[in-house]
Structure 1
Amino acid sequence: MKGWRAQPGRLAAIALLVALALFAIIKTDDVMRANALVAEEEAAMDGAAILASSLSSELDKFSLLPLALAEDPQVKALVAGDRDAARALDRRLETLASQSDAAAIYVMDAQGLTLAASNHALPTSFVNSNYAFRSYFREAMDKGSSTQFALGTVSRKPGLYIAARVGPSNAPSGVVAVKVEFDRTEENWRRATRGVYVTDREGVVLLTSEEAWRFHLTGSAPAAPRDPAEDLRQFGIAELPRLELPLAGASGEIVQVPLVEAQQAIGPAGWDIHLIVDPGPRVAAALATGRLVLVSIAVVVFAVIFALFAANRRRRAHEEAVVAQRTRTLREQLSQANRLATLGQISAGVNHEIGQPVSAIRVFAESGSKLVAAGETGQAAQNFSEIVSLADRIGAITSELRRFGRRQPGEKRIVAIGEIIDGALLLLRDRIHSHGRDIDLPEEDLRRVTVEAEHVRLEQVLVNLLQNALDATDFGGRIAIEIALLPDAVHLHVVDEGHGIPAASRDTLFHPFATSKDDGLGLGLVIAREIMRDLSGDLVFDANRQHTTFTMIIPRHR
């Protein structure tokens, strides 16, 4: 009865805690969202100011160019009637346009006919085109200078035309115009922002990071009717469509938070730049931060409860570390035992490899002594040279034996793959010859490929694979070592045309104690794969090849 009476109290306490948690989450979300939106608006204004300053600097760079050219003697001579100066001026304007990054620079006479242009050699040349219909030409003739953004009649590319009058107001003789295109600026906007566009005094979108927005009317456009004919000449569109805001994301996705739009004036041009920012990521980060604070508080409250669990985890971690250390030690011992067993298997061949040079040394030494006594020093010197060569051979064999049997294989180093192959063949040479085997080796350029590994452990794996291949092939059977290079690894294949591996045994090749040999323990391939994986590689059986193939996957040296 007491338990039943106490249960409603516990349920009420739980319900109260849940309600408080929900209330705290809602209030925290409201505060963090409002702060994030304010911060995003401030950042958007700063970003718009930076973009406006950059665009203004670019416009200022070109604004003085037509004014300077209008005072140029060569330009004045051309519009005054000296048509012989046109071609020389063409080349000069071409160089100037290339240096200033202007799309085109051209000179028109008082009737609007283009006499010289920087694009004179292009199919889109302005030469002999008449631009008297352009408002920038008419205003420059009347007021001395003018600007107009329009779609090119020849290139069909939008740009800003900056014009200056040649000659005094009472006797104008022509106009110099510079066309500026903003492809690079708009491309930079596309890469760096969600959306940017520039409007003129009438609210027409001129520059934009989204091509689909160009020559649209924004909400700030005046309600006065427009001249369709003039719009068609200037923008190539008779009726300018409306640009609806707020916009979706730049890639068409639906945004979770209304987009923020920042606006900044661009001085002399009378333009406004609009930067569209998605506050979603900042709001999401702020909400995550707020909730993280709440979670942190909850973690502190329940820290005492989890203290016992932490102690228990530490104890288990210690036990796991001890087990892991013992496992590593056992694997090292198994690997060492495998190497020693391999040495035992090849010891007879190695003794024979050493015995022959020792006997030859004795013969050369005895005959050398007799030759010295007989005064035949030249022949004696040749005998002693043979003794040195045979001693070097014995030294190489014993050195390879010592290194192969070492308990600690050593640190990883950069080694040529051919060095591994040569070491394995040196240990197995007598057995290979006595069984009438020929092992096909890879080409020399492949043998020079370097890997980063432990020489002894790679050699141990290769010796095991070669011994298995020797056991599986009859007298004169073919065994090959092949190398395939991949971008990040070297694949060393040991191929034999022997008895093959039954299909029923392939699934258990790398299982401990699974063997087809009467005297085998079934640990050789298991240890070999463990060694390769410990070296960040692998050992696999390639079932797709025609002949029995084991592949050592060795990471390449970078």
Structure 2
Amino acid sequence: MRHRVVIASIACLVVVAAVIFGGGSIVSRSYMEETAAQAQTTLRLAVAALEGHLKRYEALPALIADQENVKNLVQRPDDKRLQAVTNTYLKEINALLTSSDIYVMTMDGNTVAASNYDEPLSFVGENFSYRPYFQEAASGAQSRFYALGTTSQKRGYYFGSPIRVAGEIRGVIVFKVDIDAIERSWNGGDSRIFVSDPEGIIFMTGSPEWLYAAIEPLTAERLARTETSRRYADAKLRELPVKRGTYVGQATMTISGGSSEREYLVASAQMEDAGWSVNVLVDTGTVRAQTKTTIVAVLLFLGLAGLFLAVILQRRSRSNERMQMQAHAKEELERRVAERTDDLARVNSMIEKEIAERRLTEQRLRQTQADLIQAGKLAGLGRMSAALSHEFNQPLAAAKTYAESAAMLIGLGRIDEATDNVRRISALIDRMASISRHLRNFARKPKEKPGTVSLEEVIGDTLEIVAARVGAAKAELQVTIEKDLPPVQAGAVRLQQVLVNVITNAADAVEGLADRTIEVSAFVEDEGKVSIAVRDRGAGVPAAIQERIFDPFFTTKGVGKGLGLGLSISYNIVKDFGGRLIVRNHSEGGAVFKVELDVASETALEAAE
């Protein structure tokens, strides 16, 4: 047994050693390859951003050089008017193209016009004949050059183009492009990005401490070439302490900073047109930390696996006992299930009886509600009967007068005038028939199902029904119906009942007041919704009763003046239509009752057609 324990221990040590040494190398290589792929992606994006930014301006110098005012200026550089026109033109172009500066030089390198002519550090009057971009453009080539401005002390990329007049080079135009925005985008992140010139000097970087440092030895030849072109003006150049090497097959660069050193994985690419080297550095410390974490995780997994195996072996010894306990528990469960099944059967029987009783109660409640609705409508008709008698008596008296006049006119032989009286009597009869028809429809118990309803027709019929009540209250109705209202989903008779109830309540609210205006408006609320609003100039609805105003039998009117069912019935009718009835107080006084209804669906419209 002791020998087995020793052998098992040795085997575990061998496995741990293999994981640490062999697995560590494999994991490091895998992480480094993944990091190198990410660095290459970052590098491609950085190069693409730089190339895209520069190519926006590459063809512009040659285009601007072909402008007549530019050509005229290099021929007559002392012409003040031409200078002013060209300065203004260059400033406008520079603002439009968001470049840094644009300036024009004569063949001696003297600047005669610039976009920054009105700034303290204007290029006008400066001589840049020592710059390579001037020398190359003056010889007839399209030039490119990166440098730190000797006047502005700003870094930029210069595009130069010769200005040709009648085939002869008479001057040079230069675009200076600011690339600070791209450099700022490199700040932060897991990668460090820098761009170096042909001499190995870093001139763009997201790490300011590396700016103007060289990753190659600053030999006398390199310094001489840099100073001749004054590429970096008076900037202090220095060497960056760099050691190159490899880590698991990947190129690395170790940079010293003070008392510490950091190793970076390096990915580089050349921008041939610009003569730049773009470099992406990724700290290998992250890779090493990930490798250690992975090794520790593997070892922890092996330890947990061993522990898990020991637990399984221990549990197997208790499996028989647990199986016996489970068999006993199963028998007990089956017994309890049988008991519960019997109990549930009895409860279900009781529930079915209770459901049947509730359905019967619900049917009775609906019938009672329908009776109350009809009672409320008839009560409303009773309140309107006194006013309606005037509506009938007036046309009856007029009809009698017209009839007597017609008899006299016939006796006098005035047939045309008698015929006109008969026509007037017919019109009065039609008016009384219309009022009677609307009242009959209002009083009838509705059997209609919700369908397509035209609001113009419903509101028109409603206004005829409530005209007597509104007249009795000496109120003024102001009706505003939006043009081309779409049909709504409702029932015409029941919707008419809701509007009659709301407008009648408004007439009650304004009766006896100085301002008895009642506003009725219909409009499209939003897509798929149409609203009808009724506003009075009464006292409004107190906040304490706004939540109860639609409750059955709740009323603010005196005894004998209402059952308190009108608004409750109206609320439920609108709810049956799929809409809602709401109330609020207007900011200028009075209450506003609003009925919101759904626009009729296409299927309903087709069925109505």
Partner of 2:421: 383
| Compared CA separation, residues 264 and 509, structure 1 to 2 (3 A) | farther
String of CA shifts for 1:453-476, please: whole Å, max 9, x gaps: 556555433422343455567767
Aligned length: 432
Q: 2:549 aligns with which of 493, 498, 509?
A: 509
Q: 1:138-177 alignment to 2 at 5 Å?
A: 140=136, 144=141, 145-148=143-146, 160-165=157-162, 174-177=171-174
In structure 2, how many angstroms separate the alpha carbons of the residues matched to 1:397 and 1:235?
100
Partner of 2:298: none
Q: 2:448 aligns with which of 408, 432, 449?
A: 408
Q: 2:501 aligns with which of 436, 442, 464?
A: 464
| Compared CA separation, residues 163 and 466, structure 1 to 2 (3 A) | same
What SS class does the counterpart of residue 594 from structure 2 fall into?
strand
Partner of 2:572: 530
Partner of 2:60: 65
String of CA shifts for 1:27-52, please: whole Å, max 9, x gaps: xxxxxxx9xxx8xx88994x986896
Q: 2:583 aligns with which of 510, 527, 540?
A: 540
String of CA shifts for 1:424-465, please: whole Å, max 9, x gaps: 44212323444xx222444x6x55588665565554334223
Superposition deviation, residue 146 in structure 1: 1.9
| Compared CA separation, residues 439 and 181, structure 1 to 2 (3 A) | farther
Contact 1:52 1:273 (C-alpha < 8 Å) held by counterparts: no
Amino acid at match of 1:439: A
String of CA shifts for 1:384-442, please: whole Å, max 9, x gaps: 442354245335434544664554375466746xx8766444212323444xx222444
| Compared CA separation, residues 58 and 508, structure 1 to 2 (3 A) | closer
Superposition deviation, residue 74 in structure 1: 7.4
What SS class does the counterpart of residue 147 from structure 1 fall into?
strand
In structure 2, how many angstroms separate the alpha carbons of the residues matched to 1:414 and 1:48?
68
Q: 2:105 aligns with which of 102, 105, 108?
A: 108
What SS class does the counterpart of residue 464 from structure 1 fall into?
helix
Superposition deviation, residue 63 in structure 1: 1.5
TM-score normalised to the size of structure 1? Answer: 0.53
- Check if 1:428 corresponds to 2:472: no
String of CA shifts for 1:133-184, please: whole Å, max 9, x gaps: 9956566468851233768967x998643123568xxx99643112446899
Contact 2:407 2:418 (C-alpha < 8 Å) held by counterparts: yes
Amino acid at match of 1:463: V
In structure 2, how many angstroms separate the alpha carbons of the residues matched to 1:205 and 1:74?
36
TM-score normalised to the size of structure 2? Answer: 0.50
Contact 2:513 2:538 (C-alpha < 8 Å) held by counterparts: no
Contact 1:481 1:492 (C-alpha < 8 Å) held by counterparts: yes
Contact 2:103 2:173 (C-alpha < 8 Å) held by counterparts: yes
Q: 1:443-522 alignment to 2 at 5 Å?
A: 448=482, 453=488, 454=490, 459-468=496-505, 479-482=516-519, 492-496=534-538, 508-515=548-555, 517-518=559-560, 520-522=562-564
Superposition deviation, residue 513 in structure 1: 3.0
In structure 1, how many angstroms separate the alpha carbons of the residues matched to 2:120 and 2:175?
15
| Compared CA separation, residues 326 and 54, structure 1 to 2 (3 A) | farther
| Compared CA separation, residues 542 and 476, structure 1 to 2 (3 A) | closer
| Compared CA separation, residues 550 and 93, structure 1 to 2 (3 A) | closer
What SS class does the counterpart of residue 59 from structure 2 fall into?
helix
Partner of 2:409: 371
Q: 1:122-133 alignment to 2 at 5 Å?
A: 128-130=124-126, 132=128
Contact 1:150 1:161 (C-alpha < 8 Å) held by counterparts: no
What SS class does the counterpart of residue 467 from structure 1 fall into?
helix
Amino acid at match of 2:112: L
Q: 1:334-373 alignment to 2 at 5 Å?
A: 337=374, 338-339=376-377, 342-343=380-381, 345-347=383-385, 349-350=387-388, 352-354=390-392, 356-358=394-396, 360-361=398-399, 363-365=401-403, 367-368=405-406, 370-372=408-410
In structure 2, how many angstroms separate the alpha carbons of the residues matched to 1:433 and 1:525?
22
Contact 1:139 1:146 (C-alpha < 8 Å) held by counterparts: no
Contact 1:108 1:114 (C-alpha < 8 Å) held by counterparts: yes
Contact 1:114 1:130 (C-alpha < 8 Å) held by counterparts: yes
| Compared CA separation, residues 551 and 502, structure 1 to 2 (3 A) | closer
> 5+ unaligned residues in a row in structure 2: which ranges?
1-29, 241-265, 283-347, 600-609
| Compared CA separation, residues 196 and 224, structure 1 to 2 (3 A) | closer
What SS class does the counterpart of residue 514 from structure 1 fall into?
coil
What SS class does the counterpart of residue 438 from structure 1 fall into?
coil
Contact 1:80 1:173 (C-alpha < 8 Å) held by counterparts: yes
Q: 2:594 aligns with which of 534, 539, 552?
A: 552
Contact 2:149 2:233 (C-alpha < 8 Å) held by counterparts: yes
Amino acid at match of 2:518: I
Superposition deviation, residue 196 in structure 1: 12
Q: 1:75-94 alignment to 2 at 5 Å?
A: 78-79=73-74, 83-84=78-79, 86=83
String of CA shifts for 1:190-243, please: whole Å, max 9, x gaps: 9xxx9999853366558xxxxxx6x8467998546999x99x997999899x9x
Contact 1:107 1:176 (C-alpha < 8 Å) held by counterparts: yes
Contact 1:361 1:387 (C-alpha < 8 Å) held by counterparts: yes
In structure 2, how many angstroms separate the alpha carbons of the residues matched to 1:420 and 1:439?
21
Contact 2:546 2:583 (C-alpha < 8 Å) held by counterparts: no
Amino acid at match of 2:124: N
What SS class does the counterpart of residue 512 from structure 1 fall into?
coil
In structure 2, how many angstroms separate the alpha carbons of the residues matched to 1:331 and 1:198?
83
In structure 1, how many angstroms separate the alpha carbons of the residues matched to 2:365 and 2:236?
81
Contact 1:494 1:550 (C-alpha < 8 Å) held by counterparts: yes
In structure 2, how many angstroms separate the alpha carbons of the residues matched to 1:493 and 1:236?
81
| Compared CA separation, residues 238 and 218, structure 1 to 2 (3 A) | closer
Amino acid at match of 1:527: I
Larger Rg, first or second structure (1 or 2): 2
What SS class does the counterpart of residue 549 from structure 2 fall into?
coil
Contact 2:516 2:536 (C-alpha < 8 Å) held by counterparts: yes
What SS class does the counterpart of residue 475 from structure 2 fall into?
strand
| Compared CA separation, residues 88 and 531, structure 1 to 2 (3 A) | same
Contact 2:271 2:278 (C-alpha < 8 Å) held by counterparts: yes
Partner of 2:474: 438
Of all paired residues, the percent bearing the same amino acid is 24
In structure 2, how many angstroms separate the alpha carbons of the residues matched to 1:329 and 1:238?
96
Contact 2:516 2:537 (C-alpha < 8 Å) held by counterparts: yes
In structure 2, how many angstroms separate the alpha carbons of the residues matched to 1:541 and 1:147?
73
| Compared CA separation, residues 523 and 543, structure 1 to 2 (3 A) | farther
Partner of 2:273: 268
Partner of 1:178: 175
| Compared CA separation, residues 43 and 478, structure 1 to 2 (3 A) | farther
Superposition deviation, residue 61 in structure 1: 4.6
| Compared CA separation, residues 456 and 70, structure 1 to 2 (3 A) | same
